[in-house]
Copies of this chain bind each other. A is one copy, B any other.
Amino acid sequence: MARRSEHSKEEIKSMVLGAAKGLIEEEGLAGLSARKLANQIGYTVGSLYMVFENLDDLILHANAVTLDELYQQLQVTVVEGDNPQATLQILAQTYIEYAMANPNRWNAVFEHHLPEGQQAPEWFQQRVDQIFALVEQQTSRLNIDRKKAVMSARALWSGVHGICVLYMTNKLHLPDEIQVQSLVEDLVSNYLGKL
Residues of A within 8 A of B (CB): 27-28, 30, 107, 110-111, 113, 115-116, 119-120, 125, 128-129, 132, 147, 150-152, 154-156, 158-166, 169-175, 177-178, 182-184, 186-187, 190-193
Q: Do A173 and B30 have beta carbons less than 8 Å apart?
A: no
Question: Bound state CA distance, A156 and B6, in angstroms?
Answer: 55
Q: Do A186 and B116 have beta carbons less than 8 Å apart?
A: no
Can you list 19 A-B pairs, Cβ within 8 angstroms, ordered by A? A27-B116, A30-B115, A110-B165, A110-B169, A125-B173, A132-B173, A147-B178, A151-B178, A151-B183, A151-B186, A154-B172, A154-B183, A158-B166, A158-B183, A159-B162, A161-B162, A162-B164, A190-B190, A190-B193
Question: Bound state CA distance, A125 and B161, in angstroms?
Answer: 21
Oligomer: number of copies: 2
Neighbouring B residues of A113 by C-beta, 8 Å: 28, 30, 107, 111, 169
Neighbouring B residues of A165 by C-beta, 8 Å: 110, 158, 161-162, 165
A155-B183, A159-B187 known, 20 other contacts, Cβ within 8 Å? A28-B113, A28-B116, A111-B111, A129-B173, A147-B178, A150-B178, A151-B178, A151-B182, A154-B163, A154-B174, A155-B187, A158-B162, A159-B159, A159-B162, A159-B163, A162-B165, A187-B191, A190-B190, A191-B191, A193-B193
Neighbouring B residues of A186 by C-beta, 8 Å: 151-152, 155
What's the least CB distance linking A66 to chain B, in Å?
13
Neighbouring B residues of A116 by C-beta, 8 Å: 27-28
Question: Bound state CA distance, A173 and B165, in angstroms?
Answer: 18
Interface class of chain A by DSSP: helix
Question: Bound state CA distance, A132 and B171, in angstroms?
Answer: 10
Neighbouring B residues of A173 by C-beta, 8 Å: 125, 128-129, 132
What's the least CB distance linking A81 to chain B, in Å?
26
